[in-house]
Chain A
Amino acid sequence: EDQVTQSPEALRLQEGESSSLNCSYTVSGLRGLFWYRQDPGKGPEFLFTLYSAGEEKEKERLKATLTKKESFLHITAPKPEDSATYLCAVRDTGFQKLVFGTGTRLLVSP
């Protein structure tokens, strides 16, 4: 059974204090690892898809990396507007659905 575990559950940073969020996964065959951002009262907003170990993608202050067992979302010099819940999900071979982790709640203080 596909499993996704995210850590930490919650993270509090000062503005400008860089850090990383972790997503560990277990799948039979990875057909994509997805990162989403979710703000309170809204649906998840797509950030990145990674397909193979060693792949990296960047968007503004966010950089996602992938290994065979985990993915990291690196946040460089975060700003208060980066505060949100960050969700990781995987898609397994032969399936269309995404399996989500429970997310990391990030709070960036000014």
Chain B
Amino acid sequence: GAGVSQSPSNKVTEKGKDVELRCDPISGHTALYWYRQSLGQGLEFLIYFQGNSAPDKSGLPSDRFSAERTGGSVSTLTIQRTQQEDSAVYLCASSPAQGGYGYTFGSGTRLTVV
């Protein structure tokens, strides 16, 4: 596609439920990144994919968070047993290579845990 597509754009979930967030990167982009942006905070790195493997998962805040990427394309970020502190905007970005050149971001998924 022309840009990075994320779905849903908004998600409201009850505390304790699991959620899945989807990212469709720009076609041909081999690198994919997930970030989290909380109100008043900077973007917080979560995980980086090169192809289907994740060489850097250092930003995942707990074992409730996991992510996968299939076919070197679509990625899913899963949050299990959601907590109120998980409420944030989850942003996905992709880039054409490992070089990190000007990552292209999607518009994000706004997650609200009530």
Q: What residues of B have a CB within 8 angstroms of the CB of A87 in the complex?
A: 42-43
Sorting the interface of chain B by its residue count into under 10, 10 to 19, 20 to 34 or 35 or more gives: 20 to 34
Q: Are B105 and A44 in contact (CB under 8 A)?
A: yes
Q: What residues of B have a CB within 8 angstroms of the CB of A36 in the complex?
A: 105
Which residues of chain B (46-80) have a CB below 8 Å from chain A? Answer: 48, 50, 55-56, 59
A87 to B105, CA, bound (A): 13
Partner of B50, one of A89, A96, A102: A96
B83 at the interface (CB under 8 A from A): no
Which residues of chain A (39-58) have a CB below 8 Å from chain B? Answer: 41-46, 49
Q: A34-B102, A91-B100 are in contact. Are A97 and B107 (CB under 8 A)?
A: no
A103 at the interface (CB under 8 A from B): yes
Q: Are B101 and A49 in contact (CB under 8 A)?
A: yes
Q: A96-B31, A98-B100 are in contact. Are A43 and B105 (CB under 8 A)?
A: yes
Which residues of chain A (69-93) have a CB below 8 Å from chain B? Answer: 87, 89, 91
Q: Is the interface of A mostly helix, strand, loop or mixed?
A: strand
Which residues of chain B (81-114) have a CB below 8 Å from chain A? Answer: 91, 93, 98, 100-108
Q: What residues of B have a CB within 8 angstroms of the CB of A91 in the complex?
A: 100
Chain B window 30-44, contacts with chain A (Cβ cutoff 8 Å), 1 for yes, 0 for no:
010101000011111
A interface residues, how many (CB within 8 angstroms)? 24
A1 to B80, CA, bound (A): 29
Smallest CB separation, A106 vs chain B (Å): 16
Q: Are B105 and A45 in contact (CB under 8 A)?
A: yes
Q: Which residues of B contact A (CB under 8 A)?
A: 4, 31, 33, 35, 40-45, 48, 50, 55-56, 59, 91, 93, 98, 100-108
Q: Which residues of A contact B (CB under 8 A)?
A: 4, 31-32, 34, 36, 41-46, 49, 87, 89, 91, 95-103
Beyond contacts A31-B100, A46-B104, A95-B56: 16 other A-B pairs, Cβ-Cβ < 8 A, are: A32-B100, A42-B108, A43-B105, A43-B106, A43-B107, A44-B91, A46-B102, A46-B103, A87-B43, A96-B31, A96-B48, A96-B50, A96-B100, A98-B33, A98-B45, A102-B42
Question: Would you give 21 A-B contacts (Cβ < 8 Å), ordered by A?
Answer: A4-B42, A34-B103, A36-B105, A41-B107, A42-B107, A43-B105, A44-B43, A44-B91, A44-B105, A45-B105, A91-B100, A96-B31, A96-B33, A96-B56, A97-B45, A97-B59, A97-B100, A98-B43, A98-B100, A100-B42, A102-B41
